[in-house]
Amino acid sequence: MDVSRRFVVGAGLGGALSAFSPPASRADDGLLSRAMDGLEDFWLATDAYVFGYPLVTMEMTRRVMTNVVAPAGTRGPMGQFVKARQYPDATFRDVTAPNADTLYTTAWIDVGKEPWVLSLPDMKDRYFLFPLLDGWTNVFQVPGTRTTGTGAQAYAITGPGWSGTLPAGVTEYKSPTALVWILGRIYCTGTPEDYAAVHALQDQCKLVPLGSWGKEYAPPAGTADPSIDMKTAVRDQVNGMDAIQYFTLLADLMKSNPPAAEDAAEASRYARIGLVPGKTFDAGKLGADFAKRIPQIAFDRIMLQFKVGKSVRNIKGWMFDTVTGVYGTDYLNRAFVTAIGLGANRMQDAVYPTSPKDANGNDYSGANRYVVRFPKGQLPPARGFWSLTMYDANYFFVANPIDRYSISARQNLKVNDDGSVDLYIQNQSPGTDKESNWLPAPTGKFVLMMRLYWPTETAPSIIDGTWTPPAVEKVA
């Protein structure tokens, strides 16, 4: 792990380790040695917790999202597409930070026993992307406008150990794990006519087992397991596990979702606490005296990336992670992105600058008025699309009189005489002559999130830092 543990202790967590400090009156060598061994095992266990956080979170998310008999809302059985038919409104509470730019077409599949074939229709020059995430949250392939074009295409998603012959015209995408999440997005303007056009494209997206390719295929009904908690947020379910439950599940998941070859050195360290890829967790090797402390301390280390993460940029009140979708051996960043934005794209496909406070570090409030000014020629540089979305303090949409949850170029933004563009962020209308540029705010606290899909990679570019979001200025 590449974050210094002194930051964790300095953040007020050191007291939790007092149980491993030898009493001053009994500092004999044997006791001191055992205490130091216990401390080392504790930190090793927190490393293992961080390492496995994405895989455990993916599995718990899969359980909740597929625990239905038939597709409905945002959920559907394994191997079946869930098709979002319209943007969420202010009553939507299934997931945080929803978007009002694309319609999702998503599915979970298990390629451990048999490949699955994904067929995509001719998107007719419409922007789309269908990232494929493995069990560790890495985007291992991303068919879409940027990478494969908008023509009709078909892919066989195969498991780690599969070999065989594929039908003509079907390209193999080999998944490193048995668990795969297809997280498709298709751009939509939100008009009735465009909704209808995107619905037609969604209905042409097909997903079938390889053995049923070219045949009539009717997906079997799913099963609803009443023991699965469908109400508690997934992150709360994961964080609520004790260390034994957590590592037992992680070990079972690694049997069909092995760590990558580049993880071998890291994963081998965990044998000391009973965690070995491909084997059942040996709970007897995990010290019971500190097992209860591991989840909270480890999660605090993950969230500390907000302050010390080397891939997190903070510019003019905007914060975003510069390494998403493919993480290599940066396990803390991988866990951090899992915790705050499960399913994140590769940076070449999407960047999400988020502003929880203004440029002066103050909370946003609907009692104030704000302006974001883009100088001439400096609108967000994206080849797909860009938008600015309004959320309340809990990252949900805000009800407003014009039903506008995000603002972008499709609002026919009014341009100032000098070529600049002002976006007005406030609770009340800025006036009919400025409403095209108005992003309604709640009366209380709020958060802003910008989306740049297919950001440019040459200047001006948010990727290389030659473009940055302008500060949100409070109007006097």
**Which pLDDT tens digit goes with each residue over 336-358?**
999 988 999 999 999 999 999 98
Q: Are 169 and 156 in contact (CB under 8 A)?
A: no
State residue 292's pLDDT score.
86
pLDDT at 37: 60
Q: Which residues of the chain have pLDDT under 50?
A: 1-27, 31-35
Contact indicator for 199, 79 with CB cutoff of 8 Å: no
Pairing of strands 139-141, 132-134: antiparallel
Q: Judge contact between 182 and 130, C-beta under 8 A.
A: yes
- What pLDDT is attached to residue 66? 97
CATH fold of 353-474 = Jelly Rolls (2.60.120)
Residue pair 383/456 in contact (Cβ under 8 Å)? The answer is yes
Return phi, psi of residue 33, to 5°.
-65, -45
pLDDT in the model for residue 288: 72
CA angle 431, 437, 443 (to 5 degrees): 70
Give the pLDDT of residue 93. Answer: 77
**153-158 vs 139-141, strand pairing mode:** unpaired
CA distance 337 to 353: 13
Please name the residues in contact with 150: beta carbons below 8 A apart, sequence gap of 6 or more: 122, 123, 124, 125, 126, 128
Contacts with 65 (C-beta within 8 Å, 6 or more apart), sequence order: 74, 75, 76, 82, 108
pLDDT at 427: 97
In the chain, where are the structural domains located? 5-60+233-311, 82-212, 353-474
Residue 102, pLDDT score = 96
Pairwise CA distance, residues 389 & 29, whole Å:
59
Do 335 and 53 form a contact (C-beta atoms < 8 A)?
yes
- Report the pLDDT value the prediction gives residue 307, as an integer from 0 to 100: 85
pLDDT of residue 6: 34
pLDDT in tens, 117-144: 999 999 999 999 999 999 999 999 999 9
CATH number, domain 82-212, options 1.50.10.20, 3.40.50.2300, 1.10.150.20, 2.60.40.1610: 2.60.40.1610
Pick from 87, 57, 72, 1: nearest CA to 344: 57
5-60+233-311: CATH homologous superfamily? Answer: VPA0735-like domain (1.10.3360.10)
User: What pLDDT does residue 8 have?
Assistant: 43
